Structure 1
Amino acid sequence: MSLEIGLRGRATMRVTHDKTAEAWGSGDVPVFGTPSLVALLETAAVNAVAGCLAPGETTLGTWLDVSHLAATPVGVEVSAEAELMAIEGRKLTFTVVAHDPRNKIGECRHDRMVVSRERFLAKVQGK
């Protein structure tokens, strides 16, 4: 399978205390925190292209424009679905939408870059 516009990926997680704004320090209330929402959105995008990259390649998140639209309490399952909207060389652009059972809780535009895992790690180790 190769990279093509329209690829979709999904991610789910249950909201536990360690995923709350209170636990992250991004707020002081025990609801699904924006840092956890971002991780969910990114995971859905990663899953959209899983199995479509050349051996030795991976993707790195480079940009997010996120809206956190609704609060979700501890114990509730949340999910996100990503769709690959554009391919510009090594740059992949996704739209991602997240829901809990009652509401759309977040959405974003997310860019990821296709890179050689080995070259990337070597460059990081050289710092």
Structure 2
Amino acid sequence: MTEIALTPGLRHSARLTVDESLTVPAVNPSFTGFADMPRVLATAFLVAFVESTCVEALSPLLPSGTQTVGTLVNISHTAATPVGLTVTATVELIEVDKRRLRFAVECRDDRDVIGKGHHERFIIDRRAFDASAEAKRANPS
């Protein structure tokens, strides 16, 4: 894989309006315990939003054939966000260690800071990654 020149200091923000599809009961019908939970932004969707914000920040800077995958999430979710409010995720690249990228994360809704922490992503060669995943599927033992 070619060397990728990313440096700390890269910042990106994204906004998301919470609707019913992003609430705890909407996470997945397989998780029946969530069905009667409060209709507020689900932590699972907050994490997905942070990951998406990092992907958006990195995508224009990565060579063709490379992408990133999430490898570590350490984010608090300390305040509820009801349907109708907007959440802003701000991510900042704070460390580059070869292909490992570490981001500082802050999420706010229209009223409060709702989450903070760190997220790590790893730069992959998409073809090699897919081949490895397929080999694992084909030979599960």
Question: Normalising to structure 1: TM-score of the pair?
Answer: 0.93
SS in 2 for 1:46: helix
Q: Give 1:38's aligned residue.
A: 47
SS in 1 for 2:7: coil
Question: Among residues 65, 76, 79, which one is paired with 1:70 in the alignment?
Answer: 79
- Structure having the higher strand fraction is 1
Residue type at the aligned position of 2:97: E
Q: Give 1:8's aligned residue.
A: 11
Equivalent-residue separation in structure 1 for 2:111 and 2:62 (angstroms): 35
Equivalent-residue separation in structure 2 for 1:109 and 1:82 (angstroms): 9
* Alignment: residue pair count: 127
Q: CA deviation at 1:86?
A: 0.3
Q: Give 2:92's aligned residue.
A: 83
Residue type at the aligned position of 2:134: Q
Q: Report if the CA contact (8 A) 1:48-1:83 is conserved.
A: no
**Stretches of structure 2 lacking an aligned partner (at least 5 in a row):** none
For the aligned residue pairs, the C-alpha RMSD in angstroms reads 1.5
Q: Deviations over 1:78-112 (max 9, x none)?
A: 11010000001110000111111111111121110
Residue type at the aligned position of 2:60: G
SS in 2 for 1:68: coil
Residue type at the aligned position of 2:22: K
Q: Give 2:62's aligned residue.
A: 53
Equivalent-residue separation in structure 2 for 1:58 and 1:10 (angstroms): 19
Deviates more, 1:62-71 or 1:14-23: 14-23
Q: Percent identity?
A: 36
